[in-house]
A = this chain, B = another copy of it.
Amino acid sequence: MSVTIKDVARYCEVSTATVSRVINNDPRISEKTKEKVMKGIKELNYRINGVARSLKTNRTRTIGFICPEIPNDFFMSIAKGVEDELKKYGYSVIICNSNENTEEEKERIKLLCEKCVDGIIIIPATDEGRHFKYLKDANMPVVLVDRLVEDFQSDAVLVDNINGSYCAVEYLINKGYNRIGFIGGDVKLTSAKERFEGYTRALNDYCIPLEKDIIKFGDFHIKGGFDLMKEMMQQDNPPPLVFISNYFMHVGAVKYLIENKYKLDKEVLIASFDDMELSSIFGFSVLRVRQPMMEIGSKAAQLLLSRIDGDKTAYPRIVRLKTELITEW
């Protein structure tokens, strides 16, 4: 009972080839014919089969976004930036979760390639990039965001992590702090490594020796922040101020302080990478390094669209966005 392309052609009094050209946005079709056919398609309620269509055209006007975690406002704000930019060009986004796992990331890449998206934006799960080869083989335009991976050259949008944490730590030093604790992510991630580098460079430049006891590494999660803050505060001589290298560790650290009845803005202060909507209402926080999440997303979308449109500029094109210091002092 379903309406076919022949029914549409008969109804509009054109050939099936014409209907097909309209569906595939062929420029040889006049606006008038296009209108007539679109009207017929609508009136007959003809459903264009996207799968059949994408076998014939090369564009699906859909792009994939793969990130390591979905209940994560940082990643999802970037996804929103991607989506808002793509919408201007009539593109849609589908989001997949790699669960911080290389195997799942590989599966998601395959899934999206099979679903024939026009390009993929990836926030890598780890620094491991061997399975990204699949993208090259499939000739799939790709942009990395937030982190790089080994052995894979690609366009990427990153943040100037080193300078972001350098400026924050420098600001704290100028405020008179010379014992600044550090809570960082897994240095296998380029972003975690760079933020630590900014911290050490600032201390070096101001001739402040690194104190091993107040430098701690975990992962970028709430629990990591909680556990490391606990270690930090339970030692004999805890620092009066701790620099925490992402939002989720910041949340975990605050959680520890609140559960252990630390008093707001007195016993310990927090500076941190990331400035999310909730950061300012936690208490303890005096300084934050804001990443331009929406802009990261829109830049990534722009890079991807240019590749989809055939831009052959040599790889990699790297965009480094600046951070901004937010202070409540």
| Chain A residues packing against B (C-beta within 8 Å) | 45, 47-55, 62, 70-73, 76-77, 79-80, 83, 92-97, 107-108, 111, 113-116, 137-138, 222, 251, 254-255, 258, 277-278, 280-283
Contact = CB atoms under 8 A, between A and B. Distances in A.
Contact of A70 (B54, B76, B96): B76
Contact of A92 (B51, B80, B96): B96
A95 B251 CA distance: 26
Contacts of A54: 51
Contact of A73 (B48, B53, B71, B283): B71
Given A50-B114, A114-B50, A80 B71 contact: yes
B77 A71 contact: yes
Q: Is the interface of A mostly helix, strand, loop or mixed?
A: helix
A70 B79 contact: yes
Contacts of A108: 92
B92 A107 contact: yes
A282 B258 CA distance: 9
A226 to B, nearest CB: 11
A76 B76 CA distance: 9
A117 to B, nearest CB: 9
18 contacts: A47-B138, A48-B114, A50-B111, A50-B113, A51-B51, A51-B55, A52-B55, A70-B80, A71-B73, A71-B76, A92-B108, A93-B97, A94-B115, A255-B281, A258-B280, A258-B281, A282-B282, A283-B283
Closest 10 A/B residue pairs (Cβ) = A50-B114, A71-B76, A95-B95, A94-B94, A70-B76, A71-B77, A71-B73, A258-B281, A51-B116, A92-B111
